[in-house]
Amino acid sequence: MRPRRIKVLIADDMVELRSNVRRMLSSHDSIQVIGEAGDGEATLKLARELSPHVVLMDINMPKLDGLKVTEILAKELPNLQVIIMSIQSEQEYFRRAMKAGAKDFLTKPFSSSDLADAIHNTFNNWIKDRPDLQQEEARAEILSFFATKGGVGRTTLATNLAISLARRGKRTLLIDASFQFGDVAITLNQKAGRNIYNIVEKEEDITAGKIDANLTNHPSGLDLLLAPIEPAFADAIKPQHVKTILETLAPIYQYIIIDTAPHLGTIELQILDQTDLVLLVGTLEISSLKNTKLCLKTLNDIKYDMAKVKLVINKDIPNVGIGRKDIEEGLAIPIFAVVPMEAETAQSALNQGEPFVVKFPDSPLARALEAMTTLIVGDETPVTAPASGGALLKLRKLIFGS
């Protein structure tokens, strides 16, 4: 549970003003801009779709002026609070705004602090007699699988954990954040036509509806936000896009699993900043352990909250000269989970486009993932029966065509 954020819709026909207002509010974690509209009709449409708490409403807009829109919203959506913005400061405009149903009036130009204060005051006055809205907002727990190099099984673990959560009835989203060469789609036997690039390719607002239109639904009940279909599209995705998408989706899901790229850049740091639990994946290979140690040092150097970081040892093999105690002492971090090496099981499931928690539920590999899921969820929720049929044929079509 996290403090409730105030959802704001900006309505003004001046693009520059909308941009300035968004910029003013970007530093306020308690306020989330969920949309923009450039005319009265678009404002009504978005207000009905997005259910903002507060609308910042310009008086003079095309199609329908701000006062008329305010009157309509006061009747249709009485819980929605309107703050009028106008270059006109005369008392007559203030009186007309209040009569239409507005709760406050801001004269342009206004400062960032005046804007934020007006939003907070309007919202707080509204909820003071609404104890249900004063409660903290339920938000997804965000878990990021991270590794310092490829080949350690990060994507395999992320997909299987996400499927395991979904089969326990948890509302779960898996995001493939390896934007250049993401493998979630092929791992789960899905086409990647709908993906994150479609959300950000045009200079438009990122809305819940736009995100939803580009999600892929897996038969297990898991939702997927897939990586772009070509590496060249990855550069279009910026840290702010990732931040907005996570903020928009967090109230909708119980768990968001992120499969990150093996790289510590601005995108990855943005993801880690919004993550509740970092599942740092390493293997017993000496180069993997060396890189894992460097990663831990880097995170510590940048003052990252190390309590969020959990070490997962994948492809565990007994009697290779490195024991659990050696790893924990060498890396100065306890092991959170251990997943055994079962190359044949993992490869067979991968080649058939089915997660091994579904394809081979009784394998040591699947049992280790289910144990990790239980550790995260904290219960023994029974799983649902897996879907079946035609996976290998579909996968071959995805790779080689029909």
Please answer whether residues 224 and 172 qualify as being in contact, where contact means their C-beta atoms are separated by less than 8 angstroms. no
- Which candidate, 329, 324, 299, places its Cα nearest to that of 312? 324
Compute the average pLDDT of residues 217-245: 93
- CA-to-CA dists, residue 284 to 183, 320, 334, 345, angstroms: 23, 8, 15, 19
Compute the average pLDDT of residues 325-330: 86
User: What torsion, rounded to 10 degrees, do the Cα atoms 24, 29, 34, 37 define?
Assistant: -10
Least confident of 116-125, 255-264, 385-394: 385-394
Q: How far apart are CA 50 and CA 33, in angstroms?
A: 11
User: For a pLDDT cut of 70, what percent of the chain falls above it?
Assistant: 90
Assess whether the previous peptide bond of 52 is cis (omega < 30° from 0). no
Q: How far apart are CA 24 and CA 6, in angstroms?
A: 15
Read off the pLDDT of residues 345-370 as tens digits, 9 standing for 90 and up.
888 888 888 889 888 999 999 999 99
Least confident of 136-145, 220-229, 254-263, 328-337: 136-145
- pLDDT at residue 30, rounded to an integer: 83
Read off the pLDDT of residues 44-55 as tens digits, 9 standing for 90 and up.
999 998 889 999
Terminal-to-terminal C-alpha distance of the chain = 47
- Is the backbone of residue 149 left (phi > 0), alpha (psi -120 to 50) or beta? beta
- pLDDT at residue 304, rounded to an integer: 92
Q: How far apart are CA 201 and CA 92, in angstroms?
A: 44
Q: Decide which of 114 and 392 is more confident.
A: 114
What are the residue ranges spanned by the domains of the chain?
Answer: 6-134, 141-400
CA 196, 200, 202, 208 dihedral sign is positive
Please answer whether residues 245 and 211 qualify as being in contact, where contact means their C-beta atoms are separated by less than 8 angstroms. yes
Please tell me the CATH code under which domain 141-400 is placed.
3.40.50.300
Residue 394 has pLDDT above 70, yes or no: no
Residue 395 has pLDDT above 50, yes or no: no
Compute the average pLDDT of residues 227-245: 94
Q: What's the pLDDT band for 379 if we cut at 50, 70, 90?
A: low
- CA-to-CA dists, residue 245 to 4, 105, 225, 251, angstroms: 17, 31, 10, 11
- Which candidate, 86, 9, 13, 19, places its Cα nearest to that of 48? 9
CA 101 to chain centre: 35
CA 166 to chain centre: 16
Residue 389 has pLDDT above 60, yes or no: no
The total number of residues shown for the chain amounts to 402
- Phi, psi angle pair for 226, to nearest 5°: -90, 160
Residue 400 has pLDDT above 60, yes or no: no
Q: What's the pLDDT band for 397 if we cut at 50, 70, 90?
A: very low
Read off the pLDDT of residues 306-324 as tens digits, 9 standing for 90 and up.
999 999 999 888 776 677 7
Residue 385 has pLDDT above 70, yes or no: no
For the chain, give the mean pLDDT. Answer: 87
User: For a pLDDT cut of 90, what percent of the chain falls above it?
Assistant: 60
Read off the pLDDT of residues 163-183 as tens digits, 9 standing for 90 and up.
999 999 999 999 999 999 999
- pLDDT at residue 185, rounded to an integer: 93
- pLDDT at residue 26, rounded to an integer: 80
Please answer whether residues 340 and 365 qualify as being in contact, where contact means their C-beta atoms are separated by less than 8 angstroms. yes
6-134 and 141-400 share one CATH topology?
yes
Read off the pLDDT of residues 101-152 as tens digits, 9 standing for 90 and up.
999 999 999 999 999 999 999 999 988 877 666 555 678 899 999 998 888 9
- pLDDT at residue 285, rounded to an integer: 86
pTM over cut 0.75: no
Residue 281 has pLDDT above 60, yes or no: yes
- Phi, psi angle pair for 209, to nearest 5°: -65, -40
Helix (H) or strand (E) holding 348: helix 343-351
Q: How far apart are CA 58 and CA 2, in angstroms?
A: 31
- pLDDT at residue 232, rounded to an integer: 94
Compute the average pLDDT of residues 238-260: 92
Q: What's the pLDDT band for 259 if we cut at 50, 70, 90?
A: very high
- pLDDT at residue 206, rounded to an integer: 81
Read off the pLDDT of residues 6-33 as tens digits, 9 standing for 90 and up.
889 999 999 899 989 988 988 887 888 8
Q: How far apart are CA 332 and CA 293, in angstroms?
A: 9
Residue for token digits 């239980």?
A: 374
6-134, what's its fold?
A: Rossmann fold (3.40.50)
- pLDDT at residue 401, rounded to an integer: 43
